Amino acid sequence: DVKVTQSSRYLVKRTGEKVFLECVQDMDHENMFWYRQDPGLGLRLIYFSYDVKMKEKGDIPEGYSVSREKKERFSLILESASTNQTSMYLCASSLAGRNLAHEQYFGPGTRLTVT
Amino acid sequence: AQTVTQSQPEMSVQEAETVTLSCTYDTSESDYYLFWYKQPPSRQMILVIRQEAYKQQNATENRFSVNFQKAAKSFSLKISDSQLGDAAMYFCAYRSAEGLFVSGDKIIFGKGTRLHILP
Total domains in the fold of chain B? 1
Hey, is the C-beta of B63 within 8 angstroms of any chain A C-beta? no
Write down all domains in chain A, each with its CATH number in brackets. Answer: 4-96 (2.60.40.10)
Give which of A1, A49, A20 is closest to A110, Cα–Cα.
A20
Q: Read off the pLDDT of each residue in B3-24 and give the average, rounded to a whole number.
A: 97
Distance from CA of B33 to the nearest CA of A (A): 6
A90 shares contact with chain B (CB less than 8 Å): yes
Cα–Cα dist A91/A4, whole Å: 8
Q: Which residue has better confidence, B98 or A112?
A: A112
Say if residue A56's pLDDT is above 60.
yes
| Mean pLDDT on A37-49 | 92
- DSSP calls for A82-113: -GGG-EEEEEEEE---TTS-PPPEE---EEEE
Q: Is residue B74 part of a domain?
A: yes
Domain of B27, in residue numbers? 3-98+108-118
Who's near A101: CB < 8 A, 6+ residues apart?
B33, B50, B52, B95, B97
Of A43, A48, A108, the CB nearest to B44: A108
pLDDT reading at B66 higher than 70:
yes
Q: What share of chain A has pLDDT > 70, as a percent?
A: 97
CA distance A47 to A8: 19
Helix, strand, or coil here: B83?
Answer: coil
Q: Band of the pLDDT at B109, cuts 50, 70, 90?
A: very high
A39 to chain B nearest CA, in Å? 9
Asked if A94's CB is within 8 angstroms of B35's CB, the reply is no
B67 CA: distance to closest CA in chain A (Å): 18
